[in-house]
Structure 1
Amino acid sequence: MKVLIIGGTGFIGPFVVQQLVEQGHAVAVFNRGRSDTKLPDGVQVIRGDRQELPKFVGQFKQFAPDVVLDMIPFFEKDALAVVNTFQGIARRTVMISSGDVYQAFARIHGKDQSPVDPGMITESSPLRSQLFLYRGSRTGEFFDNYDKIPCEKAYLSKPNLLPGTVLRLPVVYGPRDNQHRFRSYIDQMVEGVPAIRMQKEWGNFQWTHGYVENIAHAIVRAVTDERAANRIYNVGDVETRPFKDWVRDVGTQFGWQGEILLVDQEELPDSERTNANLEQHMICDTSAIRRELGYEEIVPYEEGLRRTIEWERTTDESDLTDIT
């Protein structure tokens, strides 16, 4: 199979590329070349800006991808451009979406005042009614126009001419994570603090996670299995743990013997407080991709934590970057 990846050199993409190559697929990546990520031998690189996709139609036709995988569909116009460009060139598309499309996510951020839903989130759970959730609350064109819901609609708009697959990802962690989700806790463990304090609402909050190599494996399954056409899948671990348990498990892998203290918001500095509605959990049902595509984790939970800790401890503080 020939797979063209838009992006492919950020956090999750290199693991997807590696797994596809190991399985014997021909891979090309299309991006601006701003990353120094080393790709496996044999991967074709097409340098360009996704804002100018029509200019590269000749190179796309020459590669003749069976599937186009969009790792970075942030804006509706970009999703529509992919669909319009690759209709008649590729047989299928796969886009990386997010759990932030669900109504539950809007409740957490105070943008939806409906009652908390204690049930698991399935692919048919209600989506947000309000688009562009960050518009006005954060500065910058990215946050003004970011929304995965219109992107999903674009990718699923041509079920006969260019079937699409949507993968709604969880909180992803592991090597290359530029949000360094466990970094502050690992730093405290390195210092040997006897206790780690966290706001009790946050400590009890549950949001489905996934280790990066496992998430990449799920993406590869969707890319290489024709049964994924015109389907939407939640991706993530089977078990969703309270966040305090995640941190405790990190401590166990690290060898930290301290305790985790859940405290009232007022006992923490402003930088460690949250006013989010954390009574609404984000527990995603991932049974569909397991049942239909045979997905299962390739890296055990404890090993994923160990690899994450090892990477965080060998990553220089100056390498920390914010997600954009």
Structure 2
Amino acid sequence: MKVLFIGGTGLISEAVSKLAIARGIELYLFNRGKRDDFVPEGAKTIIGDIRDSKAAAAALEGHRFDVVVDWIAFTPEHVSVDIELFRGRTKQYIFISSASAYQKPPQHYIITEEATPLENKYWQYSRDKIACEQLLTEEQAATGFPVTIVRPSFTYGDTMIPAALNSWPHPWSLVARIRAGLPVIVHGDGSSLWTMTHNTDFAKGFVGLLGREEAIGQAYHITSDEVLTWNQIYEAIGDAAGAVPKLVYISSEFLISHDPELEGGLLGDKSVTSVFDNSKIKSLVPEFEATVSFAEGMKRTVAWFEAHPERCTEDKEWNEQMDSIIAAHASGYKK
């Protein structure tokens, strides 16, 4: 099977790329060649920029693929380019959507692909993903474009310390705060439910969809079945770091009042209880089972960072922001 990944070296796609190659798939990565260190052995690279449609068409000239996966399409404009590039040139096109596209807050805390509507008034990112899904569904109805939609939730791996509040470019910052005994913000009271998925587990379900005719016209989320409170999540991060985190509870609304950019990630995602029913992906890929607990995954991640000390960097600006919010919140409780 000949498969093209547009991107293919990101946090989630890297693990999928490795498993796809291990299972004998002929894998091509189409990207700008900026992350060569993350290209798995055995993958073939086509250098190009998908955002330059003419150049992308030239770079892909003569290629046909059994499956095309776009890991970096975020808007209908991005998807429109893919439709023009791959119409009639692939048997399956997989769009990476997001579980944040599901209704926030949901009518029922257990989320299923068919029963939970797509609706997110808090996050433009999610609304754009919904618009992409709608465009692709319409294209399939009109022309038979062979789309499959996959909605990851919070998926992490060796290079990420996953939390509701952390520095994206310097994820070690959270572990450093915990080890230094500095307070760590938890939104709400830490009791809402959430799902963390290791990228190697996600890969098992995803690779099982490649080339599956039954998946055409279908949408799937792929997550762990382990359900945790945010308190348990932060405690597991602390345990992996070898220190008990000093948790400070602050409402999402208060956090957003200090940083409006947090609204999407909190009210549009992580502050809302999200538990996923994975029956649909398991019915098509019965071998899919998430086996990496969050506690185990965090120990792996911390060990990876410690083995790469150059990645154990701290975000001064983010730390200052956390301290500022904590101080402002504490001042409101002074007698």
TM over 0.5: yes
Distance in 1 (CA, whole Å) between partners of 2:129 and 2:304 is 30
Instruction: Compute the displacement of 1:298 (Å).
Output: 5.0
Instruction: Compute the displacement of 1:90 (Å).
Output: 0.7
Q: Does 1:284 align with 2:276?
A: yes
For 1:149, the equivalent position in structure 2 comes to 130
Q: Determine which of 149, 162, 166 is the counterpart of 2:149.
A: 166
For 2:224, the equivalent position in structure 1 comes to 237
1:215-254 CA-partner distances (Å, limit 9, x unpaired)? 2332222224333221101121102211110111223334
1:190-223 CA-partner distances (Å, limit 9, x unpaired)? 33x3x85544615223232211222233222222
For 1:27, the equivalent position in structure 2 comes to 27
Q: Does 1:133 align with 2:133?
A: no
Q: How does 1:46-125 map to 2 (within 5 A)?
A: 46-57=46-57, 59-60=59-60, 62-104=62-104, 107=105, 117-124=107-114, 125=116
Instruction: Compute the displacement of 1:59 (Å).
Output: 4.9
Q: Report the AA paired with residue 216 of structure 2.
A: A
Aligned-pair identity (%): 25
Instruction: Compute the displacement of 1:119 (Å).
Output: 2.5
Gaps of 5+ in 2: 161-166, 319-335
Q: Determine which of 176, 181, 194 is the counterpart of 1:187.
A: 176
1:110-162 CA-partner distances (Å, limit 9, x unpaired)? xxxxxx634312112111165x934xxxxxxxx7x971012112333216633
RMSD (Å) for aligned C-alpha atoms? 3.5
Distance in 1 (CA, whole Å) between partners of 2:300 and 2:171 is 12
Instruction: Compute the displacement of 1:32 (Å).
Output: 1.8
Q: Report the AA paired with residue 209 of structure 1.
A: M
For 1:223, the equivalent position in structure 2 comes to 210
Distance 1:99 1:298, change over 3 A: same
1:250-273 CA-partner distances (Å, limit 9, x unpaired)? 2333443x365454559x998799
Distance in 2 (CA, whole Å) between partners of 1:10 and 1:320 is 25
Distance 1:196 1:117, change over 3 A: farther
| Cα pair 2:177 2:184 within 8 Å, conserved | no
Distance 1:296 1:61, change over 3 A: farther
Instruction: Compute the displacement of 1:6 (Å).
Output: 0.6
Q: Report the AA paired with residue 306 of structure 1.
A: K
Distance 1:97 1:126, change over 3 A: same
Q: Report the AA paired with residue 233 of structure 2.
A: W
Distance 1:27 1:202, change over 3 A: farther
Q: How many residues align?
A: 298
Q: Does 1:317 align with 2:316?
A: no
Gaps of 5+ in 1: 108-115, 135-142
Distance 1:83 1:319, change over 3 A: farther
For 2:330, the equivalent position in structure 1 comes to none
Distance 1:61 1:264, change over 3 A: closer
Distance in 1 (CA, whole Å) between partners of 2:55 and 2:220 is 32
Instruction: Compute the displacement of 1:60 (Å).
Output: 3.3
Instruction: Compute the displacement of 1:97 (Å).
Output: 0.9
TM-score calculated relative to the size of structure 1:
0.78
SS in 2 for 1:168: strand
Distance in 1 (CA, whole Å) between partners of 2:295 and 2:120 is 38
| Cα pair 1:217 1:298 within 8 Å, conserved | no
Worse-superposed segment, 181-190 or 12-21: 181-190
Distance in 2 (CA, whole Å) between partners of 1:321 and 1:23 is 43
Q: Report the AA paired with residue 161 of structure 1.
A: G
| Cα pair 2:97 2:152 within 8 Å, conserved | yes
SS in 1 for 2:33: coil
Instruction: Compute the displacement of 1:18 (Å).
Output: 1.2
Instruction: Compute the displacement of 1:179 (Å).
Output: 2.6
